[in-house]
Amino acid sequence: MNYDRVREVDPAAADALGGEVKRQQDTLAMIASENHVSEAVMEAQGSALTNKYAEGYPGSRYYAGCEHADEVEQLAIERAKELWGAEHVNVQPHSGTQANMGVYLAMLDPGDRILSLDLNHGGHLSHGHQANFTGQLYEVEQYEVDEETGYIDYEGLHEQAEEFDPDIVVSGYSAYPREVDFERVQAAADAVDALHLADIAHITGLVAAGVHESPVGVADFVTGSTHKTIRSGRGGIIMCDEEHADDIDPAVFPGGQGGPLMHNIAGKAVGFKEALEPGFEDYAEQVVENAEVLGETLVDRGFGLVSGGTDTHLVLADLRESHPDVTGSDAEEALEAVGIVLNANTVPGETRSPFVASGVRAGTPALTSRGFGPAEMEQVGACIADIVDNIGDEDVMAEVTERVQDLCDEHPLYE
């Protein structure tokens, strides 16, 4: 991956692209929403389909010359149906947020009511945050996790639904380490005759592999992004029953988007094919085991974890008791300096701003793709603890940098 042809045209861009490959090779990607896709997925995303306009859907486009675009989109759709067992799939959303937008546009009117998890408690901007169109177009109320246990307060959610009478209840989260009980959210939505949108952006791969309960067939709509745990081309996806197909498809195009990103849809098709191979279940199980080991290692070193542990691909460390003088952004910055890339994250009951935050979120999908197992995750956990325990200590930083580099060298990313 030396980008020779880019270099001939644009050396500055080639330097940046090559620099990014080297950055990924030489650092530990622990942002819970990231992964390392295969070179096959990257090749598909870099294919000639980037040139093609294909507004419409397979077999019914507004432009000529769409036969290969049709083939690729149909492959992505059929594979997604097989992976998640959905009746209807739309693979055109450009991102997870665009997928959610498709559902809201299809099913809500401006002013309608959304009940969703607070961003500080693990929710997502596109679930009703004031800075997002959802917070501006709709009336939003938010539920929370129980601050003592860190688990979703399903009873509180049910009561809140009865008081607020939402049009749609949103489940599925960005920084929630525990298995989501979609049936309980559905019961709350049913009680007030609301729709249920399950946004499984983070756990698409875990659900496809059967290591997390599936909301397909439970919730009215299931959305996700396609480049996180499912490890395919970058973008979003919507799944629903056949009865809602004619609501969803026109809401995505022409409702919220123009031409589909056919090269990304090709990446989705190829990544979904890979996820249908037998090894993918082992990968997903390893992602969860690795997160458990990471969490246990941090707890053994005195860190507090929101909910005490994890059932998924991520842990959320709450530094307030263990490291009261270290903010999430202090930890993020110190860890990045030694090659561990993760993000500061708010925690339930947060008092600091989201830019500073009191926690860090760490995920295992990318490291697991690199071949990391429990032994490596113990080492990674020890590196994180050594740095956060000794912020600013240059000797510790130099020593941990070497340990991180050794781990990276032992697990090369690309040929």
DSSP assignment of 305-338 equals EGGGS-SSSEEEEEHHHH-TT--HHHHHHHHHHT
User: How far is the C-alpha of 241 from the C-alpha of 216, rounded, in Å?
Assistant: 9
124 vs 320 by CB, closer to ligand DSN? 124
We find the least distance from the C-beta atom of residue 33 to ligand DSN, in angstroms, to be: 3
Footprint (CB under 6 A) of ligand DSN, residues 140-179: 174
- Sole residue written with tokens 């298995």: 179
Judged by beta carbon, residue 34 or residue 144, the one nearer ligand DSN is 34
Q: How far apart are CA 304 and CA 213, in angstroms?
A: 26
CB of 343 to ligand DSN, least distance (A): 7
Q: Using CA atoms, how far apart are residues 81 and 46, in angstroms rounded to an integer?
A: 25
- Of how many residues is the chain composed? 415
Q: How far is the CB of 362 from ligand DSN (least distance, A)?
A: 12
Six-digit token string for 134: 């959802």
State the minimum distance, in angstroms, from the CB of residue 173 to ligand DSN.
Answer: 9
Which residue has the CB atom at the shortest distance from ligand DSN? 33
Where would I find the beta strands (DSSP E) of 212-358? 221-225, 236-240, 304-305, 314-318, 340-341, 343-345
For 8, half-sphere exposure in the C-beta direction (CA atoms, 13 angstrom radius) is 2
What is the Cα–Cα distance from 387 to 396, expressed in whole angstroms?
7
# residues contacting ligand DSN (CB under 6 A): 4
- Judged by beta carbon, residue 124 or residue 313, the one nearer ligand DSN is 124
Q: Does 96 bind ligand DSN (CB under 6 A)?
A: yes
Residues 12-31 vs ligand DSN: string with x where CB under 6 A?
Answer: --------------------
In terms of CB distance, is 189 or 344 closer to ligand DSN?
A: 344
Q: Which is nearer to ligand DSN, 56 or 102 (CB)?
A: 102
Q: How far is the CB of 124 from ligand DSN (least distance, A)?
A: 6
Q: 96 vs 271, which CB is nearer to ligand DSN?
A: 96
**In 253-358, where do the E strands start and end?**
304-305, 314-318, 340-341, 343-345
Q: Strand (E) positions, 93-155?
A: 113-117, 139-143
Task: Work out how close the CB of 415 gets to ligand DSN at its nearest, in angstroms, rounded to a whole number.
Answer: 28
Q: How far is the CB of 186 from ligand DSN (least distance, A)?
A: 23
Work out whether 271 is an interface residue with ligand DSN (CB under 6 A): no
Distance between alpha carbon 13 and the CA centroid of its chain, in Å?
A: 27
Spatial separation of the C-alpha atoms in residues 374 and 211, rounded to whole Å: 18
Shortest Cβ 312–ligand DSN spacing (Å): 12
What is the full DSSP assignment across 48-59?
A: GGGG----EETT
| Interface residue with ligand DSN, options 24, 33, 226, 310 (CB under 6 A) | 33
Q: Kindly write out the interface string for residues 172-211 of this chain, putting x where it contacts ligand DSN by CB under 6 A and - elsewhere.
A: --x-------------------------------------
Cα 247 to Cα 37, 103, 108, 217: the distances in Å are: 32, 8, 11, 17
Span 102-131, contacts to ligand DSN by CB under 6 A? 124
- CA atoms within a 13 Å half-sphere pointing along the CA-CB vector of 71: 5
Question: 56 vs 122, which CB is nearer to ligand DSN?
Answer: 122
Residue ranges that bind ligand DSN, judged by CB under 6 A: 33, 96, 124, 174
